[in-house]
Amino acid sequence: MRRALAFLAAVLAAGFAFHASAQSGPACGSPYISSLGDSLPDIAEKAYGDPSEWPRIYEYSDNAARLGADVTSLFVGTRIELPPCFNDRDEAPTPPPVRGLANSEIYDPDVTRIEVLAASSPRLFVDPEAPESGLVPHLVKAAFAASGLKVDLTVTFVEDRLKGLDTLLWRNKFTFGMPWVKPDCRNVLALPSELQILCDYEFSDPIYTASVVHYRAATTNWTPSSYLDLIGRNLCRPLVDNTLNIQEQGLLAGDVIKEFRPPEIEDCFFQLKNGWADFVAATRYEARDALALGDLNQHALLMPSLVSARPVHLITPKHSPGRILDWMQAFNQGLAQIKRNGVYDEIVSWHLSSLDRNRQALQ
């Protein structure tokens, strides 16, 4: 009896210790359980010293699915995985290497040859001039290297995303395409006609999640709490980005929301500054760079009460040969493996730090 009570006391003590450590304060690279009054900007400030880094937490792991669309009010007891801290490794001049991919021009029947068609925008994900061609290609290479297949992988870039989607990929001229957002196909007709074909594609597990954020003019007090508050407003979104997060709500049909699509995101912030647009929607890294380069930070305010998670995937048509669908499953297994062994975090941390350093160098 005495031994049983001692064991129970030890278990309870360990549980209290874990709870106390979890609640001692947000620490980068560890889980955190939200408490009363928590907001994601507050957590970001405590963990990283900068409240504006909250999208980094939102995009990490499965946080977006747990947190919903309002990061200013969190449910008590929500488990949040905080991304790793920056460290000396992030400052390395070369990215983490990918080991295990085959690279030979000699025919080998045991080698699986995979050709990936990559859209060269948005730059956050894919950049042919960046090390390893950017964050998403780097993760894709690492996942295939860990998949158990002996893979010779090549990446080809195309500027015309829609041609790649409805012609090259659809005709199986390439094995996979990346990076593509998975639309809500429960209401296909709400999607842009050119993107409805995505509902006839298979999607891999999410490779990386980007947050689509919204800015309003600093001179207005308008702060929406839901997409319905956007009705009757003027939206500006750069031409290279999609507007699935709003289109899936059916709000762009019949000009419920008036949409402007200039070539560059800088044009959108110029419209916001001059009162021609009520709000701007963009992935947060592209928006942050545009605001910094254009010295427009004082004219635009980020609205954390409205955010959308858009994971990106590998895709292949549903009519692809069975072996390609098997390769996608192998990719999913490899992706899960690099998330378990820390390679995923290492790659993500390096690329995000590299983006930050490049932005600071341009300022």
**CA atoms of 360 and 227, how far apart (whole Å):** 33
**pLDDT category of residue 297 using cuts at 50, 70 and 90:** confident
pLDDT at 21 over 50: no
45-49, 198-202, 219-223: the lowest-pLDDT one: 219-223
The per-residue pLDDT for 13 is 43
**CA atoms of 300 and 279, how far apart (whole Å):** 9
Find the mean pLDDT for residues 259-268: 85
Q: What contacts 124, CB < 8 A, 6 or more positions away?
A: 134, 135, 210, 283, 285, 286, 355
What are the tens digits of pLDDT across the range 105-115? 666 777 889 99
Hey, CA dihedral for 303, 312, 356, 33, is it positive or negative?
Answer: positive
- Cβ(282)–Cβ(237) below 8 Å: yes
Domains of the chain from N-terminus onward: 15-85 (3.10.350), 102-206+312-362 (3.40.190.10), 210-310 (3.40.190.10)
Q: What contacts 183, CB < 8 A, 6 or more positions away?
A: 191, 195, 198, 199, 244, 248
Q: State the CB neighbour count (10 A cutoff) for residue 34.
A: 21
The per-residue pLDDT for 124 is 67
- Cβ(188)–Cβ(203) below 8 Å: no
Find the mean pLDDT for residues 8-17: 42
**pLDDT category of residue 8 using cuts at 50, 70 and 90:** very low
**What is the model's pTM?**
0.81
Q: Exposure string (b/e) for 319-331, b if CB count within 10 Å is 16 or more?
A: ebeeebeebbebb
**pLDDT category of residue 326 using cuts at 50, 70 and 90:** very high
The per-residue pLDDT for 178 is 92
Burial category of 106 from C-beta neighbours within 10 Å (exposed 0-12, middle 13-18, buried 19 and up): exposed
**CA atoms of 81 and 54, how far apart (whole Å):** 12
Counted residue by residue, the chain has a size of: 363
